[in-house]
Structure 1
Amino acid sequence: MGAWGVGLSPGAHVPFSSLSLPLPQPEGISGSSRMKGGSATKILLETLLLAAHKTVSKDTDISEKCLLEILRTYERAHKVTYAQSKKIAALVKQAGTSLQKKACVYMVGWHTLGIIAIMDGAECIPTFGADYNDVRGFLIGDHSEMFNKEADLIAQGPQFAFSQEDFVKTILPSLTELDTVLFLFTLDDDLAEVEKLVVQVKEKTSNVQALSHATVGQYLPASLKKLFPSIMSIMWPILFLEYEGNFIQKFQRELSTKWILNTVSTGAHVLKGKILHSYMVDLRVSNSKLFWRAVSILQRFTGHSQARCLEGLLQSIYDPEMLSDDIRNAEISKHIAIATEKNKVTRPMPCLS
């Protein structure tokens, strides 16, 4: 799982509490913490918080059985999701084709599925050195409680636009046949609204895809179904857990969507050529973690020492300026600030030859 920091002084005593310390696990793509820790963190927090909420509401103690029941619903979510592997692979190929042709992938989600889409798209920027418009998420539905001052957020630039209005006004007019648009919704959402937006998008591109979530007994309307060349329709069983059923169903759909979007955006960037030997070699040196990851990538492919690779990275950041002792001894934060301002930190390899 991802690294968790805890602000406790050595020897500090915290009564009636315990500390979870997740450990790093194997990754398909080296350094992609969203592919290893994000899901586990979501499962852990939702399980603990839901169990705690239930005990307060029902005035009972948390039981091992209760925790296991919740955790097993996530296990079932995994099986249900990856039963769609062939369709996920087809979606990866479609998204990859768009990126290879310098087009865009837009993920338009209703309610919390839209939040998952926004998070996935935003993660591609530092992870793959992507432009903010390469893979981008939009939220359809009420988002009034998401931000204290939405106007202030939007004022920071077009990359912070995320609403249905933003999609219709700024993205829809410029859509091309090379772009891919993925719709994310449940059959509990306003399907007439979904259909209306899909029709608008299809006037611009035929590359429309859908991920829909339904409960047993629900069926996609024929008028909506015929708009998509292919639909990844995930059918969820009815949950008979008296208290937590509605919560868990929402959690399952969110996690399933996260897994699929993580796979699609990562796979698309692999097809674009952003990955070499399972290492993300095109990343923006925008924070301390990514700075040292860049150094380790240079070590991996050159065989040089960390000190030599650090020198090469600094030379590429400050190029054409010669490295002085002041630069070498500067805080990492200064190097990151310089690197972040550049569109590309290029050619560290020649500095190491």
Structure 2
Amino acid sequence: MTSDYSLDLSQIQPRGHLLTEQANPASQNLDQLSPLEFVDLFNQEDQKVLAAIAQAREVIAQAITATANRLRQGGRLFYIGAGTSGRLGVLDAAECPPTFCSPPEMVQGILAGGTAALIKSSEALEDRARDGAAAIDEHHIGPRDVVVGITAGGTTPYVQGAITAANTQSALTIFLACVPQSQVSTDAAIDIRLLVGPELLTGSTRLKAGTVTKMVLNMLSTGVMVQLGKVYGNRMVDVSVTNSKLFDRAVRIITDLTGLERESAAELLRKSDQRVKVALLMHWTNLDREATQALLDHHHGQLRPALNAFQVSQS
């Protein structure tokens, strides 16, 4: 089938100048490399991912702080994108409830083309800015919410339309792209640029751009959940106990932090209604489940402040 875009070249925006679309000099003979040479070159190029994140460290931290502040007020975090960028947003959002026991509505992924686009390419849908704006309206996004527009090349109309619409609703907007500001500008409040350079396979932004995007989304969601008190030390104390693996993880967290034997930790977990934070606080305070839950609620679900307040009250 002939694409409509081949019929009128004048209507297609040139993108060859974008960093993500340029040819990488290091891979000019990519098709001539042995498998081992290919792997070595790939690994060499992936080192640039860490360097790009290091360059953006301050603005990433700013995004974590600002997002956590909105979510404390009852806001929601939305990732929005098309193609690989959108799929990565959906993936990160889907991982939050089992990892942090967060409500499914707290972190959501919006993908151009919807659920069907997760498994079947619908890249043409990225060209409709009005669809991005419509998605903001459909999710009733407002002043307490956060919208992260993800677009490797920065020009995706679907994402640009969503950012513009979210700004009109006074949502916090964050732009995540792999091209410099001099090539593509944004009206987003927080602008994260991850300059990993041209891909080994020219224009294939599922490679370094996809990797750096995944890493930064991991940082953003995990950092926000740490700020919201869903982590104690480096343990996911709000883990959702929904299968045997997660039950085992919850028991191990309790044994590690309390010194209890495994059977005692499992019994404590059951008494806490399988809530690790409640189980830990019950053990440390000798309060019953109801009193423990009330103490946690008073401190907005933050385990360490709740424990510190109890210890002060007992001293």
Corresponding position of 2:108: 136
For residue 232 of structure 1, give the secondary structure of its aligned residue in structure 2: strand
Alignment of 1:320-339 (within 5 A): none
For the 8 Å contact 2:79–2:150, the answer to whether it is kept is: yes
Letter in 2 for 1:220: V
Whether 1:200 and 2:200 are equivalent positions in the alignment is no
For residue 96 of structure 1, give the secondary structure of its aligned residue in structure 2: helix
Stretch of structure 1 that moved more, 285-294 or 200-209: 200-209
Provide the C-alpha distance between the structure 1 equivalents of 2:207 and 2:198, rounded to a whole number of angstroms.
14
For residue 293 of structure 1, give the secondary structure of its aligned residue in structure 2: helix
Corresponding position of 1:209: 174
Provide the C-alpha distance between the structure 2 equivalents of 1:235 and 1:265, rounded to a whole number of angstroms.
21
**What is the Cα deviation at residue 345 of structure 1?**
7.7
Alignment of 1:52-201 (within 5 A): 62-141=34-113, 144=116, 146-147=118-119, 167-168=135-136, 170-171=138-139, 174-187=140-153, 189-191=155-157, 193-201=158-166
Corresponding position of 1:230: 190
Corresponding position of 2:202: 245
1:270 to 222, 226, 232: 226
Alignment CA distance shift 1:302-1:188 (3 Å): closer
Provide the C-alpha distance between the structure 2 equivalents of 1:128 and 1:210, rounded to a whole number of angstroms.
24
Provide the C-alpha distance between the structure 1 equivalents of 2:133 and 2:146, rounded to a whole number of angstroms.
19
**What is the Cα deviation at residue 164 of structure 1?**
5.4
Provide the C-alpha distance between the structure 1 equivalents of 2:106 and 2:34, rounded to a whole number of angstroms.
45
For residue 231 of structure 1, give the secondary structure of its aligned residue in structure 2: strand
Provide the C-alpha distance between the structure 2 equivalents of 1:80 and 1:133, rounded to a whole number of angstroms.
31
For residue 121 of structure 1, give the secondary structure of its aligned residue in structure 2: helix
Letter in 2 for 1:198: I
Identity %: 21
For the 8 Å contact 2:143–2:170, the answer to whether it is kept is: yes
Alignment CA distance shift 1:197-1:166 (3 Å): closer
Alignment CA distance shift 1:142-1:99 (3 Å): closer
For residue 186 of structure 1, give the secondary structure of its aligned residue in structure 2: coil
| TM-score (normalised: structure 2) | 0.69
For the 8 Å contact 2:97–2:104, the answer to whether it is kept is: yes
Letter in 1 for 2:260: H
Whether 1:348 and 2:313 are equivalent positions in the alignment is no
For residue 118 of structure 2, give the secondary structure of its aligned residue in structure 1: coil
- Cα deviations by residue, 1:259-291 (Å, 9 ceiling, x for unpaired): 111001001011111111111111110111210
For residue 89 of structure 1, give the secondary structure of its aligned residue in structure 2: helix
Letter in 2 for 1:254: G
**What is the Cα deviation at residue 61 of structure 1?**
7.6
For the 8 Å contact 1:88–1:264, the answer to whether it is kept is: yes
- Cα deviations by residue, 1:321-344 (Å, 9 ceiling, x for unpaired): xxxxxxxxxxxxxxxxxx6xxxx6
Question: Structure 1: which 5+ residue stretches go unaligned?
Answer: 1-53, 149-162, 318-338
- Cα deviations by residue, 1:43-81 (Å, 9 ceiling, x for unpaired): xxxxxxxxxxx99xx6x7834222111111111122122
For residue 74 of structure 2, give the secondary structure of its aligned residue in structure 1: coil
| TM-score (normalised: structure 1) | 0.62
Higher helix share: 2
Alignment CA distance shift 1:143-1:308 (3 Å): closer
Alignment CA distance shift 1:131-1:145 (3 Å): closer
Alignment CA distance shift 1:104-1:69 (3 Å): same
Whether 1:286 and 2:254 are equivalent positions in the alignment is no
Provide the C-alpha distance between the structure 2 equivalents of 1:188 and 1:310, rounded to a whole number of angstroms.
49
For the 8 Å contact 1:183–1:209, the answer to whether it is kept is: yes
Corresponding position of 2:184: 220
Provide the C-alpha distance between the structure 2 equivalents of 1:302 and 1:94, rounded to a whole number of angstroms.
34
Question: Structure 2: which 5+ residue stretches go unaligned?
Answer: 1-28, 121-130, 287-315
RMSD, matched Cα = 3.1
Corresponding position of 1:310: 266
Alignment CA distance shift 1:312-1:96 (3 Å): same
